[in-house]
Structure 1
Amino acid sequence: MQLKKYTDYALRVLILCGTKPRGELANIKEISETFSISQHHLGKIVFELNKLGLLETIRGRNGGIHLAKDPSDINVGMVVRHMENDFNLLECFDKGTNHCVISPACKLKHALHQAMAAFLHVLDQYTIADMIVNDEQLRMLMGIK
């Protein structure tokens, strides 16, 4: 299982925002520099996280972003499900493009479906709060005071 960079970056944004002291805002430039991600790409991610109600964006000169919910209320599995546009591991997972002749009798699809469900089940057991229990170390590594 491999997640898209989009999902990886979304989780990083949430983690960085979760390590900020209450009331302190992050901004796209800071996140971009911390993780070496393009600001344009981050803008799309922040927009999506805002639409999901996970981030709040504040416009203006002193604006920025912060978590819209408590980190313990942001489930990692839910974030992954929303950020990934599909979980088609193989061609046979997509009915529209499945040209595999053994698909009707193949057991691989079932095994991979079970593996995917187990993967998501594990992620469902974690929140952003679980990812930032070592917030002091994370802040140091990200250069946040």
Structure 2
Amino acid sequence: MHLTYHTDYALRLLMLLAVEDARLHTIAEIARRYGVSRNHMMKISRTLVAAGFITPVRGRNGGLKLAAPAEKINLGAVISVTEDNFNLVECFDAERNSCVISANCGLRNPLRHALQAFLETLRKYTLQDLITIPGSYKDLRTLFGTEIAP
């Protein structure tokens, strides 16, 4: 299983908003901080806004913020929205499957079960879990260059 860069940076964007939840963040600032293009970050933020994970605040001092508390944002739900497909092998895509052995192949079921287990595991975690691993919150805040609250 390989997650796309879209999902990877969507999770990073959400983690930044969760760690620095006291202020709004612009797309340009987030893109600069992560070293990705503004256009790419714009696409990611559109996906997250459409799914209801983040809220845009318009205006001169606008930016992005979480639409819900970090403990209410489910990791499995984010990944389900940001990944374009979960076709681990060709036969998972009925329209494009040209595998000559797919009718009698035993690989499909174990891979489906593995994919289901993968997504089920991710559904057990929230955004809050990603930023509260012992020692990581302080580390993330330091990496983001944010002052650590007492």
TM range (shorter): over 0.9
Q: After the TM superposition, which residues 48-59 of structure 1 pair with which residues of structure 2 at under 5 Å, given as runs?
A: 48-59=47-58
Partner of 2:94: 95
- CA drift of 1:47 comes to 1.2
Which stretches of structure 1, 4 residues or longer, exceed 6 Å deviation after superposition?
none
Q: Is the 8 A contact 2:21 2:66 kept in 1?
A: no
Match for 1:59: what amino acid? R
The 3-state SS of whatever aligns with 2:103 is: coil
Aligned mates of 1:61, 1:25 — CA distance in 2? 11
Q: Which amino acid aligns with 1:116?
A: L
Aligned to 2:74: 75
CA distance in structure 1 between the aligned counterparts of 2:68 and 2:21, rounded to whole angstroms:
14
| 1:100 shift after superposition | 1.0
State the identity as a percent: 42
2:127 match: 128
Following superposition, the deviation at residue 26 of structure 1 comes to 1.4
Q: Tell me, which stretches of 5 or more residues in structure 1 are unaligned?
A: none
Query: Which of 141, 144, 149 is residue 142 of structure 1 equivalent to?
Result: 144
Q: 2:8 aligned with 1:3, yes or no?
A: no
CA contact (8 A) 1:34 1:143 kept: no
CA shift, 1:144, in A, is: 2.5
Amino acid across the alignment from 1:128: L
Aligned residues: 144
Uncovered stretches (5+) of structure 2, i.e. residues with no partner: none
**Greater RCO structure (CA 8 Å; 6+ sep):** 1
Within 5 Å, give how 1:16-31 maps onto structure 2: 16-22=16-22, 24-31=23-30
- Tell me if the contact between 1:55 and 1:68 (Cα under 8 Å) persists in the aligned partners: yes
* Structure 1 residue 61: Cα displacement: 1.6
